[in-house]
Amino acid sequence: MSESFSPPPPPGRLNVCLALGIISGGVGLQWLASRVEGNGTLLALGVVFAFLFLPLYSLLHEAEHRVFHANASVNEAFGVLLAAFFPGPFTFLRACHLGHHRRNRSDAEMFDLYYPSDNLAWKRVYFYFLYTGGFWVAVPLAVVSMLVWPRMLRGQVLKDPSTVAMLNGIPEGFFRRIRWECAGVVLLHAGLILGLGLSPGRYLLLYVLYGVNWSAQQYITHAASPRHVLDGAHNLRAARVYEVLLLHFNWHLAHHQHPRVPWLYLPRYDDPSRERPGYLTSFLRFWRGPRLTEPLVPVPAPAEEGSRAASSSG
């Protein structure tokens, strides 16, 4: 390992163009969806929207790690914008995600696993709820909660261990900014619906289809991986066109081992000691539900972003 590890610079211009193109395309699809006739055409537009916004999250994920753009102000501005279209507050999503890097595959984040002492029926209900849309819907619900009942997101009401671990990791001083961002999210979507004359029902339908699609694919890069905070992920083999659509999000082990490396370069950081399961195969196996696990083997907690990149040559 070398202390001189320096990750490649972010492809800032490319990211900005992709972000603006995806957002423009999403708004355009919403405009069309509010004006087309026929449920089949509406559903087709919804499916396109559901897949178009997958790279939107990939770019948001880059901003969370501060590798969307080398200019910190541009990185933060696009992080807020991309998060608003997700839709959610950027500061909240970043805090939760960086906490995920510290808790990865721990007892607080073993959604696909259970202990013999666990309530397996409840584990299964929770599992299928999360990955058929619940994972995504929790974010817009958090927006509403922060505006009308902020106590819920301060860890004083929700008692689920995974939720408590996530919320307790958010510094108290962040909550005021999160509330302002939540207000901005609501104003943005209300402004789009009113300003463009969009159908609220169809607008929501497209987002629900996206939420189901995004949730269903969120954890397959971690499922059945080692219970290790850095190595608990997979570099999944995917069709080239789909890998491009995901912006290399399928190279998730490489990301967890080197979170400071921008998405464009992740394939260069493959771990040759690990097998690369197929994306579709992993997706299908995932739906078998939670499986029995053994106790977590203690490993050193990672630094701020769960990174060993600062001390690795890659």
Residue 187 lies inside a defined structural domain of this protein: yes
Domain of 145 in residue numbering reads as: 12-291
Percent of the chain with pLDDT over 70: 86
Q: How far is CA 41 from the centre of its chain?
A: 28
The single-letter DSSP state of residue 172 is: G
pLDDT of residue 300: 55
Residue 235 lies inside a defined structural domain of this protein: yes
* Average confidence (pLDDT) over 53-58: 98
pLDDT band at 295 (very low <50, low <70, confident <90, very high): low
Query: Which ranges of 12-89 would DSSP assign to H, the alpha helix?
Result: 12-33, 39-52, 54-64, 72-85
**253, 235 contact by CB (below 8 A):** yes
What domain count does the chain have?
1
Residue 132 lies inside a defined structural domain of this protein: yes
Task: Name the residue among 175, 188, 168 with its Cα closest to residue 91.
Answer: 175
Residue 3 lies inside a defined structural domain of this protein: no
pLDDT of residue 307 exceeding 60: no
Q: How far is CA 48 from the centre of its chain?
A: 19
CA–CA separation, 304 and 301 (whole Å): 9
* H/E element, 96: helix 90-103
- Tell me if the bond preceding 87 is cis, omega within 30° of 0: yes
pLDDT of residue 136 exceeding 60: yes
CB atoms within 10 A of CB 128: 14
Query: Which ranges of 114-245 would DSSP assign to H, the alpha helix?
Result: 120-129, 135-148, 161-168, 175-195, 200-217, 240-245
Cα-Cα-Cα-Cα dihedral of 172, 176, 181, 183, to 10°?
Answer: 130
CA–CA separation, 206 and 203 (whole Å): 6
Q: Which of 5-9, 165-169, 309-313 has the highest mean pLDDT?
A: 5-9
Residue 82 lies inside a defined structural domain of this protein: yes
pLDDT tens string 226-272:
999 999 999 999 999 999 999 999 999 999 999 999 999 999 999 99
What are the C-alpha distances in Å from 136 to residues 9, 49, 219, 296? 30, 15, 12, 27
pLDDT of residue 28: 98
Residue 296 lies inside a defined structural domain of this protein: no
pLDDT tens string 69-97:
999 999 999 999 999 999 999 999 999 89
pLDDT tens string 153-189:
655 545 566 666 666 667 777 888 999 999 999 999 9
Residue 297 lies inside a defined structural domain of this protein: no
- The one-letter code for the residue type at 212 is V
pLDDT of residue 296: 63
Please give the structure tokens belonging to residue 23: 């957002």
pLDDT band at 146 (very low <50, low <70, confident <90, very high): confident
**82, 19 contact by CB (below 8 A):** yes
CA–CA separation, 312 and 162 (whole Å): 30
pLDDT of residue 308: 41
Task: Name the residue among 225, 218, 110 with its Cα closest to residue 162.
Answer: 110
Residue 225 lies inside a defined structural domain of this protein: yes
Given phi > 0 = left and psi -120 to 50 = alpha, else beta, which region is 66?
left
